């Protein structure tokens, strides 16, 4: 009898450790829409090199369906193709809400909406705003949560880097 009680208690405790799909994640700031602009090249990635570590880069993968992948790596930029096509990265990106987002181009402005996870596992929507400098670069000048809080000035210029094969741009996490 004690054994069954202990087993049931363990099962109950372990099942409560699962991520609650209804935990109150915030939505993104905007919905996905296809990109009909030709203001930026889409055949590769855009990267920002950290001024603190020459091998630390932040990456956006903009897709024609309006989705964006956001990631980073601590590798030389020349290793991006291998990294983005590795099985471990593809598994990470396929169902990780923190990787996905949407973007919109209006005139010379760009807005990128992504999720960021807090320490409690809740996903918060953020918007990164900036301007398109050329068809191969853009500057992010501000960020804020979708509710308008946590507003910050930024100054990050992202540069285009061509890829021969980009990760899949289709996900069930972005309708």
Strand partners, 159: 47, 137
Measured between alpha carbons, how far is 168 from 166 in angstroms, rounded to an integer?
6
* Per-residue tokens: 33: 């829409």
Q: Specify the pLDDT at position 23.
A: 52
| DSSP codes, 128-154 | EEEEEEETTEEEEEEEEETTS-S-EEE
pLDDT digits over 114-136, tens only? 998 887 788 899 999 999 999 99
Measured between alpha carbons, how far is 122 from 119 in angstroms, rounded to an integer?
8
Residue 29 CB partners (closer than 8 Å, separation 6+): 111, 113, 125, 126, 127, 146
Residue found by looking up tokens 């935990």 in the block: 23
pLDDT digits over 7-58, tens only? 333 333 333 334 444 456 889 999 999 999 999 999 999 999 988 887 889 9
pTM score, whole prediction: 0.82
| DSSP codes, the chain | -HHHHHHHHHHHHHHTTSPPTTS-PPPPSS--------SS--SEEEEEE-SS-TTEEEEEEE-TTSEEEEEEEES-GGGHHHHHTSHHHHHHHHT-GGGEEEEEEETTEEEEEEEEE-TTS-EEEEEEEEEEEETTEEEEEEEEETTS-S-EEEEEEEEEEE-SSPPP---TT--
Would the pLDDT of 93 be above 80?
Answer: yes
Higher pLDDT, 73 or 1: 73
pLDDT digits over 56-74, tens only? 899 999 999 999 999 988 9
User: What are the chain's domains?
Assistant: 25-162 (2.40.128)
């Amino acid at each position: 009898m004690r054994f069954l009680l202990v087993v049931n208690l363990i099962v109950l405790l372990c099942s409560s450790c699962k991520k609650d799909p209804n935990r109150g994640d915030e939505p993104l700031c905007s919905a996905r829409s296809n990109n009909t602009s030709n203001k930026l090249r889409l055949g590769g990635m855009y990267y920002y090199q950290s001024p603190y570590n020459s091998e630390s880069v932040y990456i956006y993968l903009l897709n024609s369906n309006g989705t964006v992948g956001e990631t980073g790596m601590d590798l030389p930029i020349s290793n991006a193709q291998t990294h983005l096509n590795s099985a471990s990265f593809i598994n990470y990106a396929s169902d990780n809400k923190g990787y996905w987002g949407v973007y919109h181009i209006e005139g010379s402005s760009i807005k990128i909406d992504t999720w960021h996870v807090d320490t409690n596992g809740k996903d918060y929507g953020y918007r990164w705003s900036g301007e398109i400098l050329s068809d191969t670069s853009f500057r992010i000048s501000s960020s804020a949560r979708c509710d308008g809080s946590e507003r910050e000035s930024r100054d990050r210029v992202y540069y285009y880097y061509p890829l021969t094969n980009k990760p899949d741009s289709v996900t069930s996490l972005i309708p």
